[in-house]
């Protein structure tokens, strides 16, 4: 249970930093609440999957 919370927490932080950076660069226009929410969800799930895969790879290499 603790691993799931850590993955979600890290993915959320990384997603917020990515979204803020893209907004400052001008690639995202975050004036619309729904565009903001949908872009955050997409970024979050991509980051979450990458963190989950990295965690599985680390655990797999640790056990081998």
pLDDT digits (tens, 9 = 90+) for 35-58: 778 888 888 888 888 888 888 888
CA-CA distance, 15 to 47, in Å (whole number)? 7
In what helix (H) or strand (E) does residue 13 lie, and over which residues does it extend?
helix 2-25
Of 26, 16, 23, 24, residue with least CA distance to 47: 16
Beta strand residue intervals within 1-64, DSSP E: none
So what's the pLDDT on residue 14?
A: 86
**Predicted TM-score of the model (pTM):** 0.66
The rounded percent of the chain whose pLDDT value lies above 70 is 94
Of 2, 11, 21, residue with least CA distance to 48: 11
């Amino acid at each position: 249970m603790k691993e799931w919370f850590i993955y979600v927490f890290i993915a959320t932080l990384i997603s917020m930093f990515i979204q803020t950076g893209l907004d400052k660069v001008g690639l995202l226009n975050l004036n619309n609440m729904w565009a903001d929410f949908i872009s955050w969800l997409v970024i979050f799930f991509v980051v979450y999957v990458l963190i989950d895969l990295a965690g599985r790879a680390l655990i797999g290499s640790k056990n081998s």
